[in-house]
Structure 1
Amino acid sequence: MTFAAMIEKMSPEIYTALKSGVELGRWPNGQALTQEQKEISMEAVLRYEAQSNIPEEERVGYIAPKKKKLATNEEAPVKILGQE
């Protein structure tokens, strides 16, 4: 079975266990992951998320975009203290 075929057949429960294992560095039974297991598990998690159309904001490693700053030529509202 190829890696891609394994990802296609992966259940949500296996995905959750792999994701947790990568996050904690341990399998559900408490055994530590080796470096190779971490790398393979992380790749499986990322591929599963892409193939399963998991929303971008819920994916591993998602970083929300920064708020847009005003351009230097735009005027920002000025608040004067003491006036409402």
Structure 2
Amino acid sequence: MARIPRHRRLVLPLLCLLFQGATSLLFAIFVRYNHETDAALWHWGNHSNVDNEFYFRYPSFQDVHVMVFVGFGFLMVFLQR
């Protein structure tokens, strides 16, 4: 196997790091939370926990996770070979 020069081995990781940094910077500059979902602004409004959509959607989110873990458990139990 031929040896690859050191500068060629460093190009891809540095390029990936630069791309990740640029993406993070652009995300931080251009993305804004909606007023309803921004945790910093939630206490300024006259909202109750009933108005929060999180409490409406969380049970279905939790049910899906339970189904995944139970299904994975059954898979591990019955596929021992």
Provide the TM-score with structure 1 as the length reference: 0.23
Bigger radius of gyration: 2
TM-score (norm: length of structure 2): 0.23
- Larger relative CO (CA 8 A, sep 6+): 1 or 2? 1
| Greater helix fraction, Structure 1 or Structure 2 | 2
